[in-house]
Structure 1
Amino acid sequence: METAVEEQQFVVIVLGSERYAIHISEIYEIIKMQEITAVPKSQSFLEGVTNLRGKILPVISLRRRFGMEPAAKSKHMRIVVAKFEEELVGIVVDAVEQVTVFHEIHPPSDTASSVDRTFFQGIGILGEEITCVLNIEHVLAG
């Protein structure tokens, strides 16, 4: 069953060769990589914390969260600052590709990605491209 999407915008992010999308309303801002301080005895996917204009921001590695191998640092890496439970959380991604509109979103499929399907709201189709739409609440919930 596909769901019609009326002009909802999504930010497409990249991890390795896979593309994911986050609803634009869930994003506070996108910033360049900056120094991240590790936090001892924290969750395995917590990269650490950083200072965002005087506010301490927890930062997670989306690669670690999805059980992927770490990537070499690159100039394309970004921190997507997302809203989660009235707080801001940074998400390290390999790159931010574009803002797009999906005209249809299909239910998540077990075969669409190597990542646990509970992390997805659905599959966005744009031309020949298939993009997994992330469920930020599940991705960020510890």
Structure 2
Amino acid sequence: MKPVSSVQKEQYIELAVGAETCAIRIEEIHEIIKMLSITDIPFSRHEVKGVVNLRGKVVCVMSLRNLLGMSDEPYTRETRIIVVRSREEFVGLIVDKVNKVTTYEEIHPPSGGNSRSREGVFLGIGQQGDQLVGILKLEEILGG
């Protein structure tokens, strides 16, 4: 066992997108809200689901499923919008479920395997016991 350092471990929000579990650094998240009525934006990209009015601010909402190359699924009672800051604007990411706030014992560099594009969406792989969770690189996913 490695000694636990006195440094505060970074916290993450663990979320589900389809069968995948991934995480976002908690400092990148502005808030997590229940699904709202989304106003469609004509002629927008497939992953852009529209906009919502969040306390007087218009926020663009995108499907994290679509951004990661997955197809849409119907929203459920557990569907959430994670509002993050991207290039001085707030962006909502629709996720299937928010699991928990967590920390990881170790963070490994992302392994690309054969897929170059997959490697670009992860900052690293968080490890907690035997469980491995991909930590999303938001600026890459959101085209920053």
Give the TM-score normalised by structure 1.
0.90
Q: Is the 8 A contact 1:12 1:22 kept in 2?
A: yes
- C-alpha displacement of 1:9: 0.2
> Which of 53, 74, 80 in structure 1 is aligned with 2:76?
74
Q: Is the 8 A contact 1:119 1:134 kept in 2?
A: yes
Give the structure 1 partner of residue 66 of structure 2.
Answer: 64
Q: Is the 8 A contact 1:6 1:103 kept in 2?
A: no
Give the structure 2 partner of residue 131 of structure 1.
Answer: 133
Separation in 1, partners of 2:127, 2:118 = 19
The percent of aligned pairs where both chains have the same amino acid is 43
- C-alpha displacement of 1:69: 1.6
- Equivalent residue runs for 1:109-124 within 5 Å: 109-111=111-113, 116-124=118-126
Query: Which of the two has higher C-alpha Rg?
Result: 2
- C-alpha displacement of 1:40: 1.1
Runs of 4+ in 1 over 2 A off after TM superposition: none
Give the structure 2 partner of residue 49 of structure 1.
Answer: 51
Separation in 2, partners of 1:62, 1:85 = 17
- C-alpha displacement of 1:6: 4.7
Q: How many residues align?
A: 137
- Alpha-carbon RMSD across the aligned residues, in angstroms, is 1.8
Which amino acid in structure 2 is aligned with residue 110 of structure 1?
A: G
Give the structure 2 partner of residue 85 of structure 1.
Answer: 87
Separation in 2, partners of 1:117, 1:32 = 30
Q: Which runs of 5+ in 1 are unaligned?
A: none
Q: Which runs of 5+ in 2 are unaligned?
A: none
User: Which of 1 and 2 has higher RCO (CA within 8 Å, sep 6+)?
Assistant: 1
- C-alpha displacement of 1:92: 0.1
- C-alpha displacement of 1:116: 2.0
